[in-house]
Amino acid sequence: MVAGWPLTAPTGHDDGDATGWEGQVTETTEQISRLLHEASETHHQVFRIVDGADDDWASWYAQWLIDLSELPDLLGTKPVRSELIYLLVSLDKQYAAGDPGEPWEPYYARHILSHFRPSGSPGG
């Protein structure tokens, strides 16, 4: 973990019905999970001289995810940087305190998606 940030790798079509929406949510969650993994790898490379250590990791991740990734398109909105930073730090604390039984990327991805694009609102 880097200041509480794990560096492990992570192991449809909306036709208007519930199955289509669930498939779209699953696909979007997987895409966000892959972005989080890419952010982790990029962050680790940028901070390689200190083996990825960065006490302000959430600020770096938020800026990268908002400005240099497809996250805003996937969410249907451009998150406010401070809100995403807060959410990332909160998720880090929740993940570290619990035993989610899954890699951090899909865990964070589901929560990020539900926070910025609540269930039942496919368009955002």
User: Does 121 score more than 70 pLDDT?
Assistant: no
**Spatial contact of 35 and 70, defined as CB atoms under 8 Å apart:** yes
State the average pLDDT over residues 78-83.
98
Judged against a pLDDT cut of 90, whether residue 25 lies above it is answered with no
Work out the average pLDDT over 28-32.
97
Tell me the two tokens of residue 44: 């680790």
Which residues are CB-neighbours of 1 under 8 A, at least 6 positions away?
A: 7, 96
**Domain ranges for the chain:** 40-116
pTM of the predicted protein model: 0.78
**Please, are residues 30 and 74 in contact by the beta-carbon 8 Å criterion?**
no
Res. 92: pLDDT tops 70: yes
Of 119, 84, 95, 107, which is closest to residue 30 (Cα–Cα)?
A: 107
From the list 2, 103, 109, the residue with the least C-alpha distance to 48 is 2
Q: What DSSP state is assigned to residue 104? A: H
Categorize the per-residue pLDDT at 99 as very low, low, confident or very high, splitting at 50, 70 and 90: confident
pLDDT band at residue 22 using 50, 70 and 90 as cut-offs? low
Give the Å distances, CA to CA, from 36 to 15, 33, 58, 103, 112. Answer: 27, 5, 12, 11, 11
Taking all residues of the chain, what is their mean pLDDT, rounded to a whole number? 83
What average pLDDT does this structure show over 4-19? 39
Maximum C-alpha span of the chain? 50
> In terms of pLDDT, which residue wins out, 25 or 56?
56
Q: Quick one: average pLDDT of 62-87?
A: 97
